[in-house]
Amino acid sequence: AQSVTQLDSQVPVFEEAPVELRCNYSSSVSVYLFWYVQYPNQGLQLLLKYLSGSTLVKGINGFEAEFNKSQTSFHLRKPSVHISDTAEYFCGSGAGSYQLTFGKGTKLSVIP
Amino acid sequence: SQTIHQWPATLVQPVGSPLSLECTVEGTSNPNLYWYRQAAGRGLQLLFYSVGIGQISSEVPQNLSASRPQDRQFILSSKKLLLSDSGFYLCAWSDRATEAFFGQGTRLTVV
């Protein structure tokens, strides 16, 4: 069975500072990994995904994530955040059939 | 291109009333379909998923049910709403679980 753990429920960060949102996964099979962003009262929008190949994945809005198989991690990073990045971020995994598993979310608050 | 429609966007219903939320997908065939509920601090709770017409799997026993009468239509229902059914409901579709595409969500308030 898959599981996804987001280690921080809330992350405050000053504008233009770097940020890392942490995600660990566990699975006995090969997985697909992704990050989604949710703005208030909206659905989830895909930021980036890892299927295979290069372990550094670049997504929209300047975000990137690195797949680390030995540490079973898929942390999301951005070198300089903007006020508009304030949102909730979800890490998730898929197992190539129907299973989709998400973490509990991390609320990113960008402080002016 | 594929699109997903979910409605209504907001809904206020009295306790004990029925519920029907609808989700439709365009531009793909035989998608996996999902209903999630989102409560504050609890992330995304998978309620139901479907891999085909008439095939519904429930992840959490509760006051809700789901149906898939057509390939690209997924309905979430309740015969009698409880206060605890309040929340943000999200429909999603996926092709082989490599990523999911979400609707805009329905904010349900049971009063």
The 10s digit of each residue's pLDDT in B38-94 is 987 678 889 999 999 999 998 886 889 999 999 999 999 999 999 999 999 999 999
**Residues of chain A neighbouring B99 (CB-CB closer than 8 A):** 32, 34, 46, 49, 94
DSSP string, A66-85: EEETTTTEEEEEESS--GGG
| Shortest distance, CA A18 to any CA of chain B (angstroms) | 24
- Phi, psi (degrees; rounded to nearest 5) at A88: -105, 140
Whether A86 has a pLDDT exceeding 80, the answer reads yes
pLDDT over 90 percentage in chain A: 72
Testing the interface with A: which of B102, B106, B108, B109 to mutate, by most A Cβ within 10 A? B102
The reported pLDDT for the residue numbered A54 is: 87
Which tens digits make up the pLDDT trace of A26-67? 876 667 899 999 998 889 999 999 988 889 999 999 999 999
Q: Can you read off the two tokens belonging to residue A13?
A: 């960060």
Alpha-carbon distance A80 to A18, whole Å? 5
**In chain A, what residues touch B96 (CB-CB under 8 Å)?**
94, 96-97
Are B43 and A90 in contact (CB < 8 Å)? yes
CA A96 – CA A9 distance, rounded (Å): 27
Burial class (CB in 10 A: 0-12, 13-18, 19+), A10: exposed
Nearest to A59 by CA among A82, A38, A39, A34: A34
How far is the C-alpha of B8 from the C-alpha of B29, rounded, in Å? 23
Q: What pLDDT sits at residue A84?
A: 95
How many Å lie between the alpha carbon of B49 and the closest alpha carbon of chain A?
8
pLDDT in the model for residue A28: 64
Q: Which residue has the tokens 């129907």?
A: A98
Chain A residues whose CB is inside 8 A of the B11 CB are: none
